[in-house]
Each structure stands twice: as structure tokens, then as C-alpha cells.
Chain A
Amino acid sequence: MLITCPYCGPRGVIEFTYQGDGNRERPDPASQNFEAWNAYVYDRLNPAGDHNEIWQHSGGCRAHLRVVRNTLTHEISSVAFVRGDHGSAARRKAEDKA
């Protein structure tokens, strides 16, 4: 499986670490809504098809990526930095140089 890291380019899956279901929504830290916490920590989708996942490029730039992967075919339809605008490749590169 290849994941095209927006910063490093296409790389083998061996360079990445799966960091879980990308659909999880972390409740407000002070929230006492136990149902919401329970859902965040334990409830997982198990779709046969497109799945929203978080992968860390641990053997590369270490950025976290939001990856949409088809669990049946391993086809990856989109890859983006989880940080959104914080993570645009150009900006990160500029920051690294500065």
C-alpha cells in the first residue's frame, strides 16, 4: 500500500503508523458527558468501503494525515494534513527554512 504524503510524496505503508479512526470526535475536555466519552474512546465504525483514518508519517515528516481508504480494495481516495491550513506543505517548508 502506498500513501501519498502531501509533504514527502508517495511512500510505502511501512513508513506510516496507523493512529486510529478519523471519525472520532473528542468531547470538550471538561465535559462530563459519559456517553460522548465512551463513544470517543470505544465506538468504531467498521465499514466495508471508504474509511476515514488517521495515519502518522512516523518514518518521515511525522505529520498526521487524514486518509480516506477503501477497506475492501486499499484504494486511497484522499490524503490531507489533519492540521488543515496549519499543514499546507508550502507553509511548513517555509517555516522549516526560517
Chain B
Amino acid sequence: MSPRRTDTGGRIDRLKTIRFTFDGVAYTGHAGDTLASALLAKGVTLFGRSFKYHRPRGLLTAGVEEPNALVTVLKGEVREPNIPATMVEIHDGLVAISQNRFPSLAWDVNAVNQLGGKILSAGFYYKTFMGPVIGPLKGTRFWMFCEHFIRRAAGLGSAGSAKDPARYERMNAFCDVLVVGSGPAGLMAAKAAADHGARVILADLEPRFGGSTNWSDETIDGAPAADWARRTVTQLEGRDNVRLLPRTTVWGYYDNNTLAALERVSDHKEQPAKGEPRHRYWAIRAKSVVLATGAFERPLVFPGNDRPGVMLAHAAERYANEFGVLPGERIALFTNNDSAYRAAVALKKAGAAIVAIADVRSELSAEMRKLATEAEAEIFGGHAVVATEGGKALSGIKVQRFEMVTGALTGEERSIHADCLLMSGGWSPTIHLASQAGAKAEWNAARQAFLPPKPTQQWIGAGAFTGSFSTVEAIAEGRAAGLAAAGGTGTPTALPTVEAVAGDPDPAPVCEIRAKGKSFVDFQHDVTSEDVRLAHREGFVSVEHLKRYTTLGMATDQGKSSNVPGLAIMAEALGKPIPEVGTTRFRPPFAPVSIGSLAAERFGDLRPERLTPMHDWHLANGATMYSAGLWYRPMIYGHAGETVEQAYVREARATRESAGIVDVSTLGKIAVQGPDAAVFLDRVYTNMFSTLAFGKARYGLMLREDGLAFDDGTTWRLGEQDFLMTTTTANAGKVMQHLEYFLDVIWPELKVHVTSVTDEWAGAAIGGPKARQILAACVTGTAVDNATLPFMGIVRGEIAGVPVMICRLSFSGEMAFEVYSGAGHGTRVWEALVEAGKPFGLVTYGLEALGTMRIEKGHVTGAEIDGRTTARDLHLDWMLSKKKPFIGSAMMDREGLIASDRLELVGLIALDNRPLNGGAHIVEALDEANPHGSIGHITACCYSPALGKHIALALVEGGKARHGTRAHVSDPLRNRFGPVEIVSNHFYDPEGTRMHG
């Protein structure tokens, strides 16, 4: 006997066949099937191996709370592990595999762990693999040694390493009422709120709206409940003020009524539609929220309750009524409450034989007896299931007389032949979102459940979420909640009428049958009731400690089915009532969330790119681009067959011999304007700017409030009240915020306005012995001779008819000029300069040559201004004005910042003529086997064509005092050791005769 598809019934389309594979075997299912229902329909009962003991496991549930049937879905090279088969909608070409088994699901070598069951109890690994007190594997070293092997045997699916090609997106949404859950309560709430004119979003994690109406046998307004639900959804679909989000899990409830949701947009399709993302992350800001999230059925804890074929009663009802799948032919039930009797009737109607109903209660109501009769089932009142039989599928159960108050088992065991056992241990309202919203759940002894707390945010609960488990209550509460959430008041119209079997919502307070054998509490993490008691015996009395020690409720299902039974067993062991033991607070996410959806467009092809005005020219002229933050800049303009080093050496050499031009448009540019602009700059920079003449530029240094160096750059005085500040590329945004902060918060009396103009200007720096001649050949409207354009002077003129501003300043150490033009004309000016430079041997150069020439000159950049260095460390103390206070001046002279052993900027020359590496350490004495005694590190390095040597800038203890001495580079990671000479950071033309010309 095995599970099978029924001939009729269910919300699947039997005319549409879908082909997929599981563990390499081809299967077919129907449109509307999940992977779980499709495989079950084909008789598959074994879905996975358990976490620790590698026990065979089947389906426990039919929904998001599934702890056992976790699979890995493969899409090409990309693998997504640990997805419940109950949440995978099948599509043509779906490839899924089982997990945590070797070599195959049916034959698993680690299943031998089951024999060691007594040993592999809670804390086994911590206790056993704590090594000896002495020796090479002492203490935790032994654990670290063993961990690799243990992790391979235990655990869930493995993540892939292939790059995920899927696209993810983020949406912001605003609404008056967000309804979470689309069962009868949610549908009524959404309709009531929408009728009242509210903007409504209705989200449900299932592909089909309707919740329990999809599988219940009840009628609403005289029609099958599912028809009523479909009608209601159709009404909502047609409204402008309603947005329906199926396949959308609301997983986080944050402050200000902000909720996070994950929409699985195209997982269920063979190919996503053009432009469709895989997942969409919704940030929903709702004025109010209706929580109609329903309830999870709980398993009962008894020996063998994890055998494939044992599942929750409502799950079986769902498989039969929603998917047209019978989970067995001879079905037994084990329950502590009335709800399971509905399942018995449903499965009987679907064609199964109900062989027995074991109920822990000896007194049963007349209604339940009537249902049992309808299901033609033998009732075992006051009985419990004490064992299950079979291997990878259930073959039978044993029941015994059970005394509810004492928990005692008496009388003979009786064997019952069954291929499926349904259990029901009562219901736990799905209060996760309410708990996340910030309040503690309240224990209700009658319902044997934690009920939602009083709202601390704008939400209203409805239906099973509140502990009202009947459809009649759900409909009434749903409408009231929807109306209240929309700000309306009660309406007198009649509610839809429900025809349903009445039942007592309160279960018997029994969650465990103590008999011989493993009784599982947390199926996913293989935690048994004995593990919980062991933890108690070993002194873990707080529920938080219990959770961490046993890992109860800590798997990907976050204990959706195990929380209450685990707590009840702990409470019993402690001899305390459940509310005193307490529950842990639920935290986001409610269900696993794809990392891609959180990164969304901040990653991949939607990440913004910043391109300079001359970007296309660079690409067309052979540049290899380099990404620097969001910017793209030429690294080299390589010739055919050249290495990167050959290219930058050629570019730097040509610049020093004739001339070179580089795109500097990425430098941060800030217009500082207003009557107090000069005063402001005096406070911001360490040196004076109020004394700067019009038409001149000055190099400036900024410190942070704590006295450490912050940023450097030149600032140009364009007029009495008009300055153009340049910053390093990387710090442009930070400097802007720094200036704004001081103007807005500290010195609001200063009349200064700062504007970011980085994108308004294109910049080209042209330097070298021939640079002036090149400019003279193409600039009109101004002379560029030494008298008109002295060092740090600024002139205005035109190039190719474009107005330009030219400042004579140098980063390369050559006679150099920065030519700024409106960004839109950048390429035209650049091309004119390149054309004018042809007769003079002008080269274009990229970041590598730029860096090489700055290292040769000993200029600092972000690598040296690293947030730990002071102006003195960088030999920029000549810039610290003594005539005025400035930001950082009060703190820069602290003891630790002026100590003689600080790391200072120096130059290094490799004496073995081999390349040096950034980040390598400098030591006084070399010890390759045991590297130690660092006196500093390299910040930047290159081959210097000007010196013909491998050189570097470094921060070294004592700095200047070591000039002329020898040390060693010690770089064990790259196995680079060797002698270096410490020299001044000004390697090349220290007097600056070349740039002053």
C-alpha cells in the first residue's frame, strides 16, 4: 500500500502534466502541485535524512513549517539548499535533490548513527571532543580538528559556489492596511478595509489565496468555502485600491509599522518573463496591519513519531483536499483534540480507510463520536500511540491504554496495521510577527498555546491567530479587524454564513507519551524529549540556555512545530507552570530569506556607475579600466603585447621625458561661496586661505576633530567670496558632509554656501617638460608663460572654442597644469589637448603611472592618510598654522600623537631589486620561520622608471631617524623577504626644480 493520487478533487489541474526530476529520477505532476504533493502522489514517502541521526524522514506538514522534507533546488550551476519541498511549486524542468545523505537517500552510511542514539545526545559533541588538558590537541584544538569531519556528517544541504545570475529587486510600498494571511479572516479583513476606501495590500505566502478554505469541507454562504474565497479574491482583484501579493512571505515586523516581505516572483516558472526578478523584497509601510496568519498544528511527542508516514492531521487533509493526494490507504489518527476528526472524515471521503482514532481523552463528545462513525473508524478513547513500525515507510502502530492525568500506560499493547498515522497535538497561533513587533506572548492554559500579546504597534489580530480557531469566528473577527484598521465603524450588514462541524478548540493538556524509544520534539535538529530532560538534569534551567544547549528550535524552521512541546517538557521537568518557564521572543525573519533579495539592486547590473565625461574616449583608445568606488578610471593605455608594468613604466617615463595627460575629473570638487568663505576655510584647513590671492591656488590639509589627518587637496580662489575646493576622489562625499555639518551645526552664523560640483567639471592634468608648449599651442585668450601663469596660478582662456580654467599645479612632480572645462565639453577639450600634444610626444597615462609618479615624489594619498596618521607622521607639519585655531588643532598635540616612536612616512628601496608588496611588514632582523618584530608596513609600491629601482612608501617607527639605514621586508603571506634601505619619501627631484621650472 502506498500513497496515491485520487481520481477527482483538489485544486490541481489534472489535464496539465508537468515533468521534473528528484534525485535524478524523472517524475510527473500536475499544475498546482508542490514538489511534496507531486512526489507523495507517486508514492514517495522518504524525503530526507535527519540532521544528527540520519533517520529516514518523510513529510510532516504541507506548508512553510516543514522541518523534514528539505531539498536542494538546482538551476544550472546554482544550488539553493534547505527549501521545504512543501514550498516548491513544480514546473517543467525543475531539478531537485535530497540532502544530508551519502551515497543515496535510500542507502545512507551515516544511518549507523541511529545505533549510537544514546551517545549522540544533547551536548555530545561539546563533551566528547573537548580534548585532553595537555598535548598538541589540548582543549578546543581537538574540537577544531574533529569539527571538519563532524560538520560533514551532520547538517543540512550545502550551498553552492557558483555566481547567482538571478536578478533581485526591492520595492517600497505604502498602504493604509496591510493584511497578512488570506484565509477567511484575512479575506474578510481585506474586503472590509477595501470597501471602506482604504489602500489595501493582501499578502499570503502560498500561491493560492484562501488559506484553510482550500482544504476544508466547510461551506460559506451555501457554496464550498473555496468557491467563496475565489469569489472574494475576484472582487478584490478588480479594485484600484487593492494590491494582491501571492507567494509573498511577510517575514519581518519592524518599528514605525514597517514590514519586510519576500515575494517569490518567478521561482515557480521554468523561465522568468523578460525583466522579471527572481525575488522581490518589499519594504511595506502600513498605517495599520491585520495579522490573520492562522495557526500551526503541533505534533505529539511519542516514540517513533518521526517515521515517514507519520504526519500532521491537517497536512493530510490538505494533501487530500487541496492536492488530490491520499497520503495512505489505511490511515490511523492520534490526537489530543477535536480538530483531527475533521481530517478523518475528509480522508475517508477521499477514499482512504480510517482504521483507528486514538484519543488521549477518554471522554469524547457526541459530535466527535458521530464524526468517527462517519469515518467508519474504531475509536480508542483514553489510548495513546506508544510505537510505530516499519522502515522507510510506516507499516503499523501500537496503542496502549493511557491515563491522562498521570501519564501512565497500562494494559496490553495492541498492534494496528496502518500505512499512515496522522497526529494532532493542538494548535499554536502564528504569533511570530506580533512578537517581533515588540511584546511578549501570553500563555493560555485552556488553548494550551501562546496567544498574541497586546499590540505595541498598529496591528489588529483576527482568526486563528488570536486563538479563535473556527471559521465562523474568523469571518467575524476578520471583518471587524479590517474595518477598524481602515478607521471605520461597525456595519449592520449580515456576515457570510458558515456551515461547519462544531468542535472544542481546547486540546487536552497532553503533549508527550513517555514510552521506550526516541520521541522527537524538534524534528529538524533531531532533539528528543530525553535531550530536553538531560539538559535539565545537567543544570540548564532557563529556556534560553535550554535552547542553546539542545539547539531546540534553532534550525531553519525556527521551531515552528517544536516550540510549545519543548517548553512543556521543560516545564514538567522543572515542576513549574509553562508561563513561568517563559518563551523566547521571535525574531525576524519568519522564514528563510534569500540574501540576493536583501542586496537587490545594490549588487550587479543595477549598481550605479560613475563615468567621467571622457570615458568613451578612454575605451576607444585602448584604456584598461579600473573601478575605484563607483568610478571607472583608466588604469593603463596598454599597447599590444605589453604587460601592465611595461605599460605604466612607458607612460610614466614618457611623461617625465616629454609630456603626459591624465583624466582627473573624478576629484571631488566643492564650490565654497559667500562673504565668510575665507574665514570658513581658515577654520577647516590647517593652513591659511584668507591670505590667498585671487587667481591663485593653495594645497590644503584637513584634520578631524581628534587631530588625525582627514583629507588633502588644492583649493582655488576664483574671487573674493568664491573658492573651488578639490578633495581626493574617495573622500569627496565625506568632506562635503564634514563641511555641511560645521556650517549647519557648529557655525550657523557663517554666511557660506557649499555646493558639490564634482560632476559639473571635467578635468585633465597635463604634465612634463613639454606641457607648457602643448598648452601654448592650443590655448587662446591667455598666455601660459611663467609670468602670466606662475606655479599655483590660475588663468582663464579657451581651448577649441571651449572656455577653460587652467591652474598650474603638479602631482607628478613635473611642470604640470590642470585644465578644467564644463563637463559637457570635456571630451572636446581632451581631444584638442591630445591633438596639440602629438608633435611633442604627449602620452595618455592612467592610474598606475599616476601612482608611480606620486610615489616617486613622496606625495600622500588615502593609503597614507588612513585615519591613524597625523600631519607630523606624514611630514606635513609645515602646514599646521600657529596663527589660528582650526578643526583638530586642540587635539593634535596630545601626548600619544606626538610620541617619537610613531609610524612615520618614509621611502624604501628594495636592495635585492625585486618587487615589493603593499601591506608587507618592515622588520629590523629577518626571521622567516617565525616572523615578528614589525616596525611598520608598506603603504604603496611600484617600479620607479626615474630611479630604475623597486621602491615603496612605508609607515615606519621612528621614520626620519632611520633614513640611510637598512631594514628588511617580511611578507610571509607572499613569501617575500629581503633587504631594503630606508630613505626620505621624496625620492625624485626633492627640490622641486622640475615643477617650478
Contacts and interface: CB of A to CB of B under 8 A. Distances in A.
B8 interface: no
Given A41-B706, A86-B748, 8 more contacts: A12-B283, A37-B890, A54-B745, A63-B744, A64-B741, A73-B255, A74-B256, A84-B748
Interface string B869-892: 000000000000000011001110
Interface string B452-485: 0000000000000000000000000000000000
25 contacts: A1-B255, A1-B256, A1-B258, A2-B285, A12-B258, A19-B737, A19-B741, A26-B746, A27-B890, A29-B885, A31-B890, A32-B890, A37-B890, A41-B891, A42-B706, A54-B745, A56-B737, A58-B737, A63-B744, A64-B741, A64-B745, A73-B255, A82-B744, A82-B745, A86-B748
Q: Which of B172, B283, B748, B885 has the most CB of A within 10 A?
A: B748
Interface of B: 172, 254-256, 258, 283, 285, 438, 683, 705-706, 737, 740-741, 744-746, 748, 885-886, 889-891
A26 B891 CA distance: 12
Interface string A39-66: 0111000000000001010100011100
A19 B739 CA distance: 12
Is the interface on chain A under 10, 10 to 19, 20 to 34, or 35 or more residues? 20 to 34
A91 interface: no
Given A74-B256, A82-B745, A84-B748, A56 B740 contact: yes
A94 interface: no
Nearest to B706: A41
Contacts of A32: 890
A62 B255 contact: no
A63 B438 CA distance: 32
A83 interface: yes
Contact of A29 (B172, B255, B258, B683): B683
A17 interface: yes
Contact of A30 (B285, B744, B748, B885): B885
A74 B255 contact: yes
A75 B745 CA distance: 23
Nearest to B889: A29
Contacts of B438: 73
A58 B756 CA distance: 13
Contact of A41 (B258, B705, B741): B705
B754 to A, nearest CB: 10
A41 B890 CA distance: 11
Contacts of A41: 705-706, 891
A17 B734 CA distance: 11
A19 B705 CA distance: 13
B740 A62 contact: yes
A75 B456 CA distance: 12
A49 to B, nearest CB: 15
A56 B744 CA distance: 10
Contacts of B740: 56, 62, 64
Nearest to A64: B744
B706 A2 contact: no
A7 B254 CA distance: 25
A29 to B, nearest CB: 4
B741 to A, nearest CB: 6
B176 to A, nearest CB: 15
A72 B285 CA distance: 20
A83 B255 contact: no
B878 to A, nearest CB: 22
A83 B256 contact: no
B678 to A, nearest CB: 16
Contacts of A75: 255
Nearest to A83: B748
Contacts of B748: 82-84, 86
